[in-house]
Amino acid sequence: MEKIDHPEIDRLLETMERVCHELAWGRYDRVEELFDLTGNPDFPRRIANLAESFGMMLIKVEAREYRMEGMLADLRRSSDELELARRQLLKENENLKNGLMDRFSSRRIIGQSPCMQAVLQQVARIADTSVNVLISGETGTGKELIAKALHYNSLRKSKPFIAVNCSAVPESLFESELFGIEKGVATGVQMRQGLMELAQGGTLLLDEIGDMPLTSQAKILRVLEERELTRVGGVRPIPLDVRIVAATNKDLQNEMHADRFRQDLYFRLNVVSLALPPLRNRPEDIPLLLQRFLEIHCGKMNRPMLRIDKNALNALMNFEWPGNVRELENEVERLVALSYDKNIRLEDLSSRISSGKIMEIPASAMGEQSPDSGPAAEPDTVEASADREKLRKVIPAVTLADSEKKLIENALKAARGNKSQAARLLGISREGLRKKLKRLYGSEGEL
């Protein structure tokens, strides 16, 4: 190859070498120097073309670098924003957990009656342990609420609380739902963790344990004894660290005698037993429960705080409440939805409640209520000269038909005449509402 001599070639080569060195350190500001060197028309064309090509390459690299720097800057901003969002989520999560702990604190659960106080004291004593607990009580007494109180006041409060309704899980799906399933067990089946594994480190509530089939009871018993489970189709046992809380509305001892519940499982679950009293056995708690439910549902429906007059409160406190606290809350929700002023009167209550006899309520049960401590009672509307003892013994002068008419009128007023919506508010079908209108108001079924 012919050797090319030119006084600027050495300088060009030095410049290109320096540029390459600086390029490795991220500097791209020597392009103009290259073009200045190759601008001389006497400069050998082949060398000039090489230098210009090198300069154009640097220009492209520099342009890409600028774009890359912009992308990196955007990425840094996104990373900072994500980190900020992560910290905010952690803080919100911590606040939510603290809120749950406060909400389900045994001090916050309503129950001033001696029987409920005994239960809550026992909850406070065992909450920070990991012993299995069996909660019994009628439907609607608050068994899941007590289970959550045990969880959110324990050392497991930062881990999951998972509830499973044992009566709702088909026997054929019991193992896969509770223990999980491995990939490939059947066509298209993917690996899935079971509810017990999802509750790892936390608390698992086995609700309605008395309705669990015997075959499923045997499988649960083995897991409780071994403290490990194996997914369906799996071969590797998975260690299990879960607190078990079971709940039932059945008498499990009777179920054992009838051979419908395993004795060994009963003793495994019944390390500590909590029996929740029905609402009819603690009427002194009803005013406080009413106040709490009124605050909740008036707030949800954006209604002013309602007041309960004395006759209505007497009827509420003397009702048997077969559905317990859940039924009481449902009644309050209905009253708030159908309310047309700030006062709840006897005739506003459901007919099954308002048609009962007005009975005297002991002062100890009624309690002295401040504006903040319970549902406000309206002044007695009966004239001062009336015989109060007779009033407490008479049946309200409101017929069942009158009560139904009042409820239907209130529902139609709340629904602005829409019969389908009014029927939903009343908890009946549209056809049922039509029949009631026909019976109460005439053959056309119209008001």
Looking from the CA of 198 toward its CB, the CA atoms found within 13 Å total 15
Q: How confident is the model at residue 64 (pLDDT cuts 50, 70, 90)?
A: low
Higher pLDDT, 291 or 398: 291
User: Residue 424's pLDDT band (boundaries 50, 70, 90)?
Assistant: confident
Interval 83-94 mean pLDDT: 80
64 closest CA partner among 34, 95, 32, 26: 26
- Cα maximum dimension of the chain: 133
Query: Confidence class of residue 16 from pLDDT cuts 50, 70 and 90?
Result: low
Look at residue 386 in the predicted model and tell me its pLDDT: 43
Say if CB 210 and CB 255 are below 8 A apart: yes
Confidence of residue 94 (pLDDT cuts 50, 70, 90): confident
Query: If you average pLDDT over residues 261-278, what whole number do you get?
Result: 95
pLDDT over 70 (residue 339): yes
Burial status of residue 236 (CB atoms within 10 A of its CB: 0-12, 13-18, 19 or more) = exposed
Looking at the chain, the whole-number percentage of residues with pLDDT higher than 90 is: 43
Mean predicted confidence (pLDDT) in 248-274? 94
Rounded Cα gap, residues 404 and 437, in angstroms: 10
pLDDT at position 443 over 60: no
Q: Which pLDDT band, with edges at 50, 70 and 90, does 55 fall under?
A: low
- CB atoms under 10 Å from CB of 49, counted, come to 12
DSSP β-ladder status, 161-165 and 203-207:
parallel
Q: Residue 99 pLDDT more than 70?
A: no
Higher pLDDT, 258 or 27: 258
Place of tokens 């002068």: 397
Under DSSP, is residue 163 helix (H, G, I), strand (E, B) or coil?
A: strand
| Alpha-carbon gap, residue 172 to 184, rounded angstroms | 18
Specify whether the backbone of 356 is left (phi greater than 0), alpha (psi in -120 to 50) or beta: beta
d(CA 86, CA 127): 31
Each residue of 301-333: pLDDT tens digit?
A: 998 999 999 999 999 999 999 999 999 999 999
CA–CA separation, 371 and 45 (whole Å): 99
pLDDT of residue 441: 78
Q: Give 407-413 contacts, CB < 8 A, sequence gap 24+.
A: 407/338, 407/350, 407/351, 408/433, 408/436, 408/437, 408/440, 409/447, 410/338, 410/339, 410/340, 410/348, 411/338, 412/447, 413/340
Indicate whether 79 pLDDT > 80: no
Distance from C-alpha of 207 to C-alpha of 197, rounded to nearest angstrom = 17
The pLDDT tens digits for 28-41 are: 555 556 566 666 66
Question: Tens digits of per-residue pLDDT, 375-409?
Answer: 444 444 444 334 434 434 444 444 566 767 877 88
pLDDT at 47: 66
Strands (E), 233-285: 238-239, 243-248, 272-275
Whether the pLDDT of residue 227 is over 90: the answer is yes
Per-residue pLDDT, 323: 94
Average pLDDT over residues 191-201: 93
pLDDT of residue 373: 38
Q: Is the pLDDT of residue 11 over 60?
A: yes
C-alpha span between 262 and 193 (Å, rounded): 27
For the cut 90, the answer to whether the pLDDT of residue 50 exceeds it is: no
Cα distances from 435 to residues 77, 421, 440, in angstroms, run 66, 16, 9
Residue 359 confidence (pLDDT)? 40
